[in-house]
Amino acid sequence: MNQQEQAKKWGQIVAKCWADEAFKARFKADPAAVFKEYGLVVPVGLKVVENLPEVNYIVLPAKPADLSDEQLDGVAGGILCYTRL
């Protein structure tokens, strides 16, 4: 499955969580099962947290073990998109 297909499936999960409270509760309780249902690879240690109006989480990715500091300096990654309603 390519990255575009994975992103589409992730979007389907998010949309269903927004529309169906029971599905969202199940996803938060057992995200690995939902990932498997949608054909997605289950990351090790998968945990779901939900941004709320009063609390927002930022995920700091783990440093890859196989890159030197010099190599990391040359890597561009991620985007921070923050809006306050």
Q: Is the pLDDT of residue 35 over 90?
A: yes
Do the domain assignments include residue 82?
A: no
Tally the domains of the chain. 1
Residue the block writes with tokens 């109006």: 53
Do the domain assignments include residue 25?
A: yes
Domain that residue 62 falls in = 3-73
Query: What pLDDT score was predicted for residue 79?
Result: 52
Percent residues over pLDDT 90 in the chain: 56
Cα separation of 27 and 6, whole Å?
17
Does the predicted TM-score (pTM) go above 0.85?
Answer: no
Do the domain assignments include residue 28?
A: yes
What is the per-residue burial (b if ≥16 Cβ within 10 Å, else e) of 69-84?
A: eeeeeeeeeeeeeeee
Query: What pLDDT score was predicted for residue 85?
Result: 46
What are the C-alpha distances in Å from 55 to residues 8, 40, 50, 73, 75? 26, 28, 9, 30, 29
44 vs 23 pLDDT, higher one: 23
Torsion over CA: 47, 51, 57, 61 (sign): positive
Average pLDDT over residues 49-66: 87
55 vs 77 pLDDT, higher one: 55
